[in-house]
Amino acid sequence: MPNKIIQKSHINRLTKNKEYNYPFHSTEIGEVEFTRNFNTGYFKDLTFKKIKGGGKFGGNYICIELDDEYRISKY
């Protein structure tokens, strides 16, 4: 049984330096490697942790390295 799940996803960066960045947020499509329970995701050199109850700006993950909010959804 695999411990990781690879899923093609939309990766939307909603904040930049903790400031809401709409409509200038960045969007990428790529393969995100998730842990089995989807609490942690890995994309490029970034690590994402699930935000319990949703984020302040509608995101569902927080980037550990950048401390910015992201919305990651299945492509």
CA-nearest of 35, 34, 31, 25 to 71 is 25
CA-nearest of 46, 41, 43 to 68 is 46
CA–chain centroid gap for 48, Å, is 5
* CA 66, 69, 74, 75 torsion-angle sign: negative
Helices (H), ranges, the chain: none
Structure confidence at residue 26 (pLDDT): 85
Model's pTM, two decimal places? 0.88
Mean per-residue pLDDT for 49-75?
94
> Mind listing the pLDDT tens digit for each residue in 2-61?
689 999 999 999 998 888 887 777 899 999 999 999 999 999 999 999 999 989 999 999
CA distance 54 to 68: 13
